[in-house]
Amino acid sequence: MSEPKAAGTAPIKVTLEAGRHAWCACGESKTQPFCDGSHRGGTFVPLKFTLEAGKEAFLCTCKQTKNAPYCDGSHKAL
């Protein structure tokens, strides 16, 4: 798989707690927008990120964002 699978056509609004997170980059995770390990054996790896403080955010599910893990509106071109 050279291109990620679009897991959705709109972002998911989430409340993120402070700490470490892993955003699904392959599109195969059953726990979108977060990684569940479905990428294993493939070419994709999750995007790991850490927040100092909690916040609400819109995380990308189309996997085309240029601002991963956050939605940048790329889904509108699908």
Q: Is residue 13 part of a domain?
A: no
Confidence bin at 1 (pLDDT 50/70/90): low
3-state class (DSSP) for residue 17: coil
Number of separate domains in the chain: 1
Q: Is residue 11 part of a domain?
A: no
Q: Is residue 38 part of a domain?
A: yes
pTM for this structure?
0.93
Contacts of the segment 27-34: beta carbons below 8 A, 24+ positions apart = 27/61, 27/63, 32/7, 32/8, 32/61, 33/7, 33/59, 33/60, 33/61, 33/69
pLDDT at 2: 83
Q: Is residue 10 part of a domain?
A: no
Q: Is residue 15 part of a domain?
A: no
Q: Is residue 45 part of a domain?
A: yes
- What domain range includes position 24? 20-71
pLDDT digits (tens, 9 = 90+) for 10-62: 999 999 999 999 999 999 999 999 999 999 988 999 999 999 999 999 999 99
